[in-house]
Amino acid sequence: MFRLFALVSVWLLTLGCGPDAPVPVPLPPAATPAPAPVGTRRFLALGDSYTIGQGVPAADRWGVQLAWLAQAEGLRKPDIIARTGWTTEQLREAIVAANPPASYELVSLMIGVNNQFQGLPLAEYRNDFRELLHMAIRLAGGRPGRVLVLSIPDWGQSRVGRSHAQASISQEINQFNAAARQECTAAGVAFLDITDLTRTTGYDPAQFAPDGLHYSGLHMQQWAIRALPVVRRLVQ
């Protein structure tokens, strides 16, 4: 009986291995989620000393810190067109000279403190700022929703600012920021107020660069953290 069972088993196996038997197909490996894009979104930062991070290492610049926080969104470290002391007119001239491509996924703009410091007219600032805003939109591929404007810090609350008329500085900064906000609203551009953060430094040395006027990486980190949810919405 056992011999008969063995012969039948061999016969069945032979039938299964014949030329017409289906050949097993290996299953494909399980799909894995695609990694987040790395450095796929170009970022251009326009401005003055606050954008270039006067007095601090490059890694401490607010825009660089923002790019680090927004790695999951694929934001690159920013290209920067900024210099200490620049007014709106000087920034506009620098952008024209640099002629950057109109292909950025995010463009930030932070300008005006030197207009205020030099006593330049508010009306002149508004006109220049409006032109800079249109330039920023063009550099963002014509998309207002990819432009972010940061308000002007209140340097009167810095350690150096203590020797100036603080109330007057704050009032003028408010006027310049109000003009910028109005222009952003008209153009459909996001406006981020960080001025309040600069008014709570309490002259703490840790909040300032060594010159006592510009801001430390620790302080500018607050700007980047506040900008992060806005940027996530803009580039989604």
| Domain boundary assignment for the chain | 36-235
What is the residue type of 80?
I
Instruction: Round the CA-based radius of gyration of the chain to a whole number and report it.
Output: 29
Q: Which comes out higher in pLDDT, residue 3 or 54?
A: 54
Other Cβ atoms closer than 10 A to 19? 4
Cα 215 versus chain centre, distance: 18
Q: What is the DSSP letter of 112?
A: -
Other Cβ atoms closer than 10 A to 219? 23
Burial of 89 (0-12, 13-18, 19+ CB in 10 A): middle
Percent of the chain with pLDDT over 70: 83
User: CA-CA distance, 78 to 135, in Å (whole number)?
Assistant: 17
Sheet arrangement for strand 79-82: 79-82, 43-47, 106-110, 147-150, 190-192
Residue 6 pLDDT > 60: no
Q: State the fold for domain 36-235.
A: Rossmann fold (3.40.50)
12 — pLDDT class (breaks 50, 70, 90)? very low
- pLDDT, average across residues 174-186: 98
- For the CA atoms of 92, 173, 194, 44, what is the dihedral angle to 10 degrees? 0
Burial of 108 (0-12, 13-18, 19+ CB in 10 A): buried
Q: Residues 60-83: pLDDT tens digits?
A: 999 999 999 999 999 999 999 999
User: CA-CA distance, 38 to 170, in Å (whole number)?
Assistant: 40
Beta strands (DSSP E) in the chain are: 43-47, 79-82, 106-110, 147-150, 190-192
Taken in order 132, 191, 165, 155, the sign of the CA dihedral is negative
Q: Which comes out higher in pLDDT, residue 86 or 37?
A: 86
User: CA-CA distance, 8 to 13, in Å (whole number)?
Assistant: 9
- For the CA atoms of 124, 126, 130, 133, what is the dihedral angle to 10 degrees? 110
So what's the pLDDT on residue 21?
A: 44
User: CA-CA distance, 113 to 147, in Å (whole number)?
Assistant: 19
- pLDDT, average across residues 36-64: 91
What the block records as the tokens of 150 is 């940061």
CB 170 within 8 Å of CB 200: no
Q: Residues 201-232: pLDDT tens digits?
A: 988 999 999 999 999 999 999 999 999 999 99
